[in-house]
Amino acid sequence: MKIVIDNAIPYIRGAAELLGECVYLSGSEISASDVKDADALIIRTRTHCDKALLEGSSVKFIATATIGYDHLDTAYLDEVGIGWTNCPGCNAASVAQYVESAMLQLSTEGVISLADCTVGVVGVGHVGSLVAARLSALGCSVLKNDPPRQEREGGYFVSLADIQQAADIITFHTPLTTTGPHPTHHLASNAFMRGLKKRPLIINTSRGEVVDTTALKTAISEGLIRQAVIDTWENEPHIDRELLAKVCIGTPHIAGYSADGKANGTRMALQAVAKFFGIEKEFDIQPPELPEGTITASDPVERKLQFYNPLRDSEALKKNPTLFEQLRSNYPLRREYIPMINQ
């Protein structure tokens, strides 16, 4: 079996070889000729899997080692019988850590106050659910908006209008959809911004296109919102530099880039390939431990920010916005702090 693999997927070399012949290529440069005789692909978001890439190939299965899968033309894959999977929840804890750390950092700067704070979580899947739990533990009042789940489950969800009226912070965790009853493309539109009551902090770690770039720039300039934390951007990697200059924290789509999350995604992708091809193989992918003495703070907030502070990544991107892709591809993976703090 031949597998074409994105060469930036961590911890996969040596493990994938247990499944067959492996060819490692830059994800953004994988071409039709590269996959023509491949049986499987293991990729990330930089590889668009559609008819142009796959027609006439021998590819039978695609695993993307990511939560998101809008880079897969799933309608085409289903039509031609190519199996596919994503890795739901693999980096949920990493994104939740990013959101919590950003809020803690901004609270220490006085940009926001977490006292009597109401947070609107838009999209309550794997990531949104964990974010909601983390913020509840901080003492925040959490409002959850997820129309598809509300239709299935009823109960404890609120409308987007309710969040517009009540939230001090709004954080987006939806997939990117353009069709269906609840499209999320430009969910945070100009009309959305002008309907906000409390000048909230806006956080987007979902997909760049969920937030309208022009509307967000206007909202910051006109004081419709307090500020913004942006990790996902429209037109990546060619992001809007004016928006980057305006936001208080802007990072190169790395909220989910913890060592733990990457290890989870790699393991889940390899396991899926093995299962699809009927190979009985278990994969134990573990990130390296932090060197002893790396974390020294005893104060809970300082300790969490010592594990990860997104301000560092923001400073690097603002200094060199043209290096978005390089900063993302060469990102030094961080460890998630929760299991280590509690040990």
How much is the pLDDT for 11?
Answer: 95
- Residues 6 or more apart in contact with residue 324 via CB below 8 angstroms: 236, 237, 238, 239, 252, 253, 317
Distance (Å, rounded) from C-alpha 18 to C-alpha 10? 16
Which of 182, 236, 302, 303 is labelled catalytic?
236
How much is the pLDDT for 36?
Answer: 98
Which of 207, 226, 334, 335 is labelled catalytic?
207
**Model pLDDT for residues 95-112, shown as the tens digit of each residue:** 999 999 999 999 999 999
Pick the CATH number of 91-250 from 3.40.50.720, 3.50.50.60, 1.10.10.60, 3.30.1110.20: 3.40.50.720
How much is the pLDDT for 342?
Answer: 42
Residue 207 annotated to the active site:
yes
Per-residue pLDDT band for 343 (boundaries 50, 70, 90) equals very low
Q: Provide the whole-model pTM.
A: 0.85
How much is the pLDDT for 295?
Answer: 79
Which of 44, 134, 253, 267 is labelled catalytic?
253
What sign does the dihedral 293-294-297-303 (CA atoms) show?
Answer: negative
pLDDT at 287 over 50: yes
Residue 151 annotated to the active site:
no
Per-residue pLDDT band for 288 (boundaries 50, 70, 90) equals confident
- b/e map 27-46, b = 16+ CB within 10 Å: beebeeebbeebbbbbbbbb
For 148, counting Cβ atoms within 10 Å of its Cβ (0-12 exposed, 13-18 middle, 19+ buried), the class is middle
Domain residue spans in the chain?
A: 2-86, 91-250
**Model pLDDT for residues 227-261, shown as the tens digit of each residue:** 999 999 999 999 999 999 999 999 999 999 999 99
For 214, counting Cβ atoms within 10 Å of its Cβ (0-12 exposed, 13-18 middle, 19+ buried), the class is middle
Mention the CATH class of domain 2-86.
alpha beta
How much is the pLDDT for 229?
Answer: 99
E strands present in the chain: 2-6, 21-25, 40-43, 61-64, 83-85, 118-122, 141-145, 169-172, 201-204, 227-230, 249-250
91-250 matches 2-86 in CATH topology: yes
Among 199, 175, 188, 186, CA closest to 118: 199
How much is the pLDDT for 337?
Answer: 73
Q: Enumerate the known binding-site residues for NAD(+).
A: 146, 174, 231, 256
Q: Enumerate the known binding-site residues for substrate.
A: 45, 66, 257
**Model pLDDT for residues 203-213, shown as the tens digit of each residue:** 999 999 999 99
**Model pLDDT for residues 186-225, shown as the tens digit of each residue:** 999 999 999 999 999 999 999 999 999 999 999 999 999 9
